[in-house]
């Protein structure tokens, strides 16, 4: 029986990194490798979506901009949003969830390792499929929200087929990983890890998994209807034939609003991990932070129609959704106040992960407040679909989600890669992004109130919009510079980063008890948990005033551990990747019916092969 901290790398883990090679990545079922795949893919698409955003800003820098045609501009803003939502923020949350959920729970992997790999390959298939569209007649151009009947209007142009099928597949990938994460949380927690002792990040992953599980089926139905309207002449959204365009809006936003919380809750979870670590205090009102997350999850299903306040819902529905929308601010506020309570009285180490978390709070407050102004339906009838809304959700999703994610990257990078990102470059990174973000998005509040609608590829002179648009464009360049600095920091760290050690931050949760990077099987012995922030309690006790007192390393209690059992790890398998590839080919075929049916057949065979192989192959690789 060894003490838990720090774990010496076991023979298994020292053997693992040497066996590189692309085949190993394709066949991996290790949640950590899959997490890394998710992470790198989302960073790649983050750059793609960022370039799209820069094109948009350059086009709008001056009135009547001529850098992009209207057609190119519509593709840019549609794909910028689609990319950032589905190919960046969601999968990067998946990256963290994959890597750290089992580690935080004290588990050796997720519940369904091959389903996990399948989720990733399906995500990649959907992402590449959406991108392929650019090279075969243009990217999707009907908005990321794809309002019918615009999205079903011109069936000869296949762009929106790529969009509807691509999102469909991304949805399936998310549902699969939601099932996986929920099962993992419910069945694979280490002994003693009660739900309320579970780290807050894991809690938020647990909550968003339910959100995705319940919300994605609704948009799935809608996307099928769009595809059928476009391709076989159904009339779900055709008003002239008794269909209803507003039905699409309900289906989309019934998914789309919970989706907003899917994007933000993981970032809130990250912040709830980072603040206590660097304030050297436990999370203030931990159960309130968790329950407010649950409350947001439930209420998130009751506010969708605030995206439709101008559709003509009638005053009763408008008033009802105004009230629900206002009151979802309450649990959000509870979180913010608890974060303030966490840092109040702490001893704050203002390093890069902490700066990003504090930046998150600062910016999220602004986005939250402008969100409340949307619930004022009459005021929203002015703000809706104007740049004011663009300002609002970038404060929430860039200032919120992305800052939270960057905090997470700086915080967990040393655990994943064993090296610390450079602090000085990190601070430059933070300040460039913080300044750039405010320069870009704060002026958009004014632009919107001054009557600039969204999704317009040009605006006339003399509307009083020139100055703030130029400022926003300059801001976006500062922002881009900040991202470039981040990429440089990552690249530099891989080459000559400072070695981190298992617990560089003196952190509080179980993932820091393992080596950095953790061995393939995570824990030599499954830990037994006695407290929330269990790792902290192994290192510290408190005096009568409640101040932390470090326990000398040689006096730390020997933690009772799980039995010294055989370690079972899932065997590598190429079947999930094959099934994903099969689906990619099927999708391509579906766009070009009837000739494409051949591709559907070929892809279908690949998919079925993958599925059968998957179900027939042996489960476990040889014991260690």
Partner 1 sequence: MNGTERHEGRLRVGRRFFRRPTGRFVLFSIAASVLLAACTTDIPQNSLDPASPQARDIDNLWWLVFWIAVVVFVLVEVALVVAIVRFRRRRRGPEREVRQVHGNLRMEIMWTILPVVVLAVIAVPTVKTIFDLREAPTPEENALVVNVIGHQWWWEFEYPELGFSTAQEMYIPAGRSIYLNITSADVIHSFWTPRLHGKRDAVPGRVNNLTYFADEPGDYLGQCAEFCGLAHADMRHMVRAVSAGDFEVWAAKHASLPEIPEEGAVASGWETFNIICVACHVIGDVGPGVDLTVPVADRLPGGSGDYVLAPNLSYFAEREKFGGWTFENDTAHLQAWLADPSDLKPMTPELNDLEEGRVLGMPNFGLSPEDISNLTALLQSLE
Q: Which of 11, 18, 21, 462 binds partner 1 (CB under 8 A)?
A: 462
Nearer to partner 1, 180 or 225 (CB): 225
Nearest distance from C-beta of residue 318 to partner 1, angstroms: 5
Only one residue has tokens 């999708």, namely 587
Nearer to partner 1, 288 or 609 (CB): 288
- Does residue 552 bind partner 1 (CB under 8 A)? no
Residues 468-507 that bind partner 1 (CB under 8 A): 506
The H-assigned helical ranges of 155-199 are: 159-187
Cα dihedral 13, 19, 25, 28 in deg (nearest 10): -50
Residue 320 makes CB contacts below 8 A (sequence gap 6+) with none
DSSP state of 542: E
**Rounded alpha-carbon distances, angstroms, from residue 167 to 75, 156, 212, 412, 587:** 16, 20, 13, 29, 11
Nearest distance from C-beta of residue 19 to partner 1, angstroms: 39
- Does residue 623 bind partner 1 (CB under 8 A)? no
Nearest distance from C-beta of residue 452 to partner 1, angstroms: 7
Nearer to partner 1, 192 or 341 (CB): 341
Nearest distance from C-beta of residue 499 to partner 1, angstroms: 19
**Rounded alpha-carbon distances, angstroms, from residue 271 to 4, 42, 411, 475:** 26, 20, 10, 25
Site string for partner 1, 271-300 (x = CB under 8 A): --------xxxx-xxxxx------------
Secondary structure of 53-71 in the HEC alphabet? HHHHHHHHCCCCCCCCCHH
Answer for the pair 67, 489: CB distance below 8 angstroms, yes or no: no
Residues 199-238 that bind partner 1 (CB under 8 A): none
Token representation of residue 257: 């609003």
Nearer to partner 1, 120 or 278 (CB): 278
- The whole-angstrom separation of Cα 179 and Cα 195 is 17
Nearest distance from C-beta of residue 74 to partner 1, angstroms: 7
Nearest distance from C-beta of residue 298 to partner 1, angstroms: 16
Token representation of residue 514: 């393992």
Answer for the pair 7, 61: CB distance below 8 angstroms, yes or no: no
Residue 402 makes CB contacts below 8 A (sequence gap 6+) with 89, 267
Q: Which of 138, 333, 596, 604 binds partner 1 (CB under 8 A)?
A: 333
- Does residue 153 bind partner 1 (CB under 8 A)? yes
- Does residue 187 bind partner 1 (CB under 8 A)? no
Nearer to partner 1, 77 or 96 (CB): 77
Nearest distance from C-beta of residue 371 to partner 1, angstroms: 10
- Does residue 451 bind partner 1 (CB under 8 A)? yes
Residues 237-256 that bind partner 1 (CB under 8 A): 239-241, 243-246
Nearest distance from C-beta of residue 101 to partner 1, angstroms: 24
SS3 420: strand
**Rounded alpha-carbon distances, angstroms, from residue 44 to 84, 263, 362, 581:** 11, 18, 27, 20
Nearer to partner 1, 109 or 380 (CB): 380
Answer for the pair 38, 94: CB distance below 8 angstroms, yes or no: yes
Nearer to partner 1, 50 or 65 (CB): 65
- The whole-angstrom separation of Cα 472 and Cα 483 is 16
Nearest distance from C-beta of residue 365 to partner 1, angstroms: 5
Token representation of residue 402: 């992305």
Answer for the pair 262, 171: CB distance below 8 angstroms, yes or no: no
Q: Which of 197, 427, 458, 530 binds partner 1 (CB under 8 A)?
A: 458
Q: Which of 118, 459, 574, 614 binds partner 1 (CB under 8 A)?
A: 459
Q: Give the binding range for partner 1 (CB under 8 A) out of 86-94, 359-367, 391-399, 485-493.
A: 359-367
Q: Considering only CA atoms, give the Rg of the chain.
A: 24
- Does residue 599 bind partner 1 (CB under 8 A)? no
Only one residue has tokens 């959406």, namely 130
Residues 427-446 that bind partner 1 (CB under 8 A): 446
For partner 1 (CB under 8 A), the number of binding residues is: 103
- The whole-angstrom separation of Cα 56 and Cα 72 is 10
- The whole-angstrom separation of Cα 137 and Cα 94 is 31
Answer for the pair 305, 253: CB distance below 8 angstroms, yes or no: yes
- Does residue 607 bind partner 1 (CB under 8 A)? no
Nearer to partner 1, 134 or 540 (CB): 540
Nearest distance from C-beta of residue 67 to partner 1, angstroms: 14
Q: Which of 194, 232, 545, 554 binds partner 1 (CB under 8 A)?
A: 545
Q: What residues form DSSP beta bridges with 620?
A: 570
């Amino acid at each position: 029986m060894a003490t838990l901290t720090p774990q010496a790398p076991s023979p298994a883990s020292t053997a693992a990194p040497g066996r590189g090679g692309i085949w190993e990545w394709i066949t991996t079922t290790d949640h950590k490798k899959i997490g890394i795949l998710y992470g790198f893919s989302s960073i790649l698409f983050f750059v793609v979506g960022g370039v799209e955003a820069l094109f948009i800003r350059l086009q709008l820098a001056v009135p009547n901009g001529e850098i992009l045609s209207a057609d190119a501009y519509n593709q840019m803003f549609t794909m910028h949003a689609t990319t950032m939502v589905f190919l960046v923020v969601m999968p990067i949350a998946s990256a963290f969830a994959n890597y750290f959920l089992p580690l935080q729970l004290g588990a050796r992997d997720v519940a369904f390792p091959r389903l996990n790999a399948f989720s990733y390959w399906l995500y990649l298939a959907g992402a590449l499929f959406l991108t392929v569209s650019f090279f075969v007649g243009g990217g999707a151009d009907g908005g990321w929200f794809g309002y019918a009947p615009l999205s079903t209007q011109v069936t000869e142009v296949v762009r929106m087929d790529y969009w509807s099928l691509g999102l469909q597949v991304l949805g399936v990938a998310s549902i699969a990983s939601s099932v996986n994460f929920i099962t993992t949380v419910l069945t694979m927690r280490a002994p003693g890890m009660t739900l309320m002792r579970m780290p807050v990040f894991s809690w938020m992953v647990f909550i968003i998994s339910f959100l995705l599980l319940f919300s994605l089926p609704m948009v799935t139905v809608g996307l099928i209807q769009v595809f059928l309207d476009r391709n076989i002449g159904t009339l779900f959204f055709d008003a002239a034939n008794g269909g209803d365009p507003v039905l699409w809006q309900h289906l989309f936003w019934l998914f789309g609003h919970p989706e907003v919380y899917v994007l933000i809750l993981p970032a809130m979870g990250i912040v709830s991990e980072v603040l206590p670590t660097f304030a050297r205090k436990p999370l203030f009102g931990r159960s309130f932070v968790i329950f407010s997350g649950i409350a947001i999850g439930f209420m998130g299903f009751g506010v969708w129609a605030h995206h439709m306040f101008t559709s003509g819902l009638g005053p009763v529905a408008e008033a009802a959704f105004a009230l629900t929308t206002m009151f979802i601010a309450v649990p959000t506020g509870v979180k913010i106040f608890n974060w303030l309570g966490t840092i109040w009285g702490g001893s704050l180490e203002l390093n890069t992960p902490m700066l990003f978390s504090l930046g998150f709070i600062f910016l999220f407050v602004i986005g939250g407040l402008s969100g409340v102004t949307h619930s004022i339906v009459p005021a929203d009838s002015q703000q809706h679909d104007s740049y004011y809304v663009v300002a609002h959700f970038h404060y929430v999703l860039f200032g919120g989600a992305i800052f939270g994610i960057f905090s997470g990257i700086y915080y967990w990078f040393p655990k994943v890669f064993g090296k610390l990102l450079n602090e000085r470059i990190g601070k430059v990174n933070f300040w460039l992004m913080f300044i750039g973000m405010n320069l870009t998005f704060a002026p958009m509040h004014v632009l919107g109130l001054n009557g600039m609608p969204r999704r317009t590829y040009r605006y006339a002179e003399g509307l009083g919009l020139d100055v703030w648009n130029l400022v926003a464009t300059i801001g976006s360049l500062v922002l881009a510079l900040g991202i470039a600095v981040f990429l440089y920091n990552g690249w530099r760290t891989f080459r000559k980063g400072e070695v981190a050690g298992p617990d560089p931050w003196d952190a509080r949760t179980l993932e820091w008890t393992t080596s950095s990077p953790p061995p393939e099987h995570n824990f030599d012995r499954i830990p037994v948990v006695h407290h929330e922030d269990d790792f902290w309690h192994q290192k510290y006790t408190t005096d009568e005033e409640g101040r932390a007192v470090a326990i000398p390393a040689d006096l730390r209690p020997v933690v009772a551990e799980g039995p010294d059992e055989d370690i079972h790890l899932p065997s590598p398998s190429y079947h999930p990747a094959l099934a994903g590839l099969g689906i990619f080919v099927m999708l391509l075929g579906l766009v070009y019916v009837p000739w494409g049916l051949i591709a559907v057949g070929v892809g279908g065979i690949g998919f079925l092969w993958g599925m059968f192989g998957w179900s027939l192959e042996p489960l476990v690789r040889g014991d260690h």
